[in-house]
Structure 1
Amino acid sequence: MLQFCIHYGLHFGLPLLIALLFFKTYWVKAYIIMLLAFVIDLDHLLANPIFEANRCSINFHPLHSYYAIVVYILMLFFNRTRLLGMGLVAHIIADSVDCFLMQI
């Protein structure tokens, strides 16, 4: 239960924190754009079974692969993709913490 709370707390809280700290004048818009990063979880539909409680998403699903993560980091360097890139990186951080918590 604690792992669940940490995982989803990071998924929703980290983008909110980023939006409030760095995009004060339009934090709601920034937060919504960063939440759109949840779209990368659609790659879970390609797995069989779709959900497995003890499966680490990082480098298992195509949109959670190391190659995709490099693209998400590169998105941070361009104005047009920065917010979505931040959301994607925050999503990967949340999933990475979840993978870490599975191991302890």
Structure 2
Amino acid sequence: MLRAVLHIIAHFAVPGLVARLAFRPQWKYAWLLMSATILVDLDHLLADPIYDPNRCSIGTHPLHTEPAMAIYGVLLLVPQLRIIAAGLLIHMALDASDCYLQALY
């Protein structure tokens, strides 16, 4: 339970930190936009069960696959989509770290 709560908090705190460091003049806008990328988790609705605390989302859900992550990486090259792409990649990194922690415990 604690891992799940910390995971959700990280999905807002880490983008906030990145926004403050990398997008300083527009950090509030960048933080909101990167935080909104949590909507990528809507692909969890395609899973059965929808929520499983012991399931690694990386590779399981369509928007959490390697091809999707490659697209997010390419989107970093598009200036108008850079903040969203950064948010999506941060999201994937946080989910991957959660998978790692899940394997340890």
TM-score (norm 1): 0.94
In the alignment, what sits opposite 2:63?
A: 63
- AA aligned to 1:84 is I
The CA deviation at 1:43 is 0.4
Cα distance in 2 between the residues matched to 1:88 and 1:46: 19
What SS does structure 2 have at the residue aligned with 1:56? Answer: coil
Q: Runs of 5+ in structure 2 lacking a partner?
A: none
The CA deviation at 1:4 is 2.3
- Deviating runs (4+, > 4 A) in structure 1? none
In the alignment, what sits opposite 1:98?
A: 98
In the alignment, what sits opposite 1:48?
A: 48
Indicate conservation of the 8 Å contact 1:15/1:87, yes or no. Answer: yes
Cα distance in 2 between the residues matched to 1:45 and 1:4: 18
Indicate conservation of the 8 Å contact 1:44/1:61, yes or no. Answer: yes
Please give the root-mean-square deviation of Cα atoms over the aligned residues, in Å: 1.1
Relative contact order, CA 8 A, sep 6+: which one is greater? 1
1:67-94 Cα shifts (integer Å, max 9, x gaps):
1010011111110110000000010011
The CA deviation at 1:36 is 1.6
Cα distance in 1 between the residues matched to 2:30 and 2:53: 30
Q: Is 1:12–2:23 an aligned residue pair?
A: no
In the alignment, what sits opposite 2:24?
A: 24
Indicate conservation of the 8 Å contact 2:59/2:66, yes or no. Answer: yes
Aligned residues: 104
Q: Runs of 5+ in structure 1 lacking a partner?
A: none
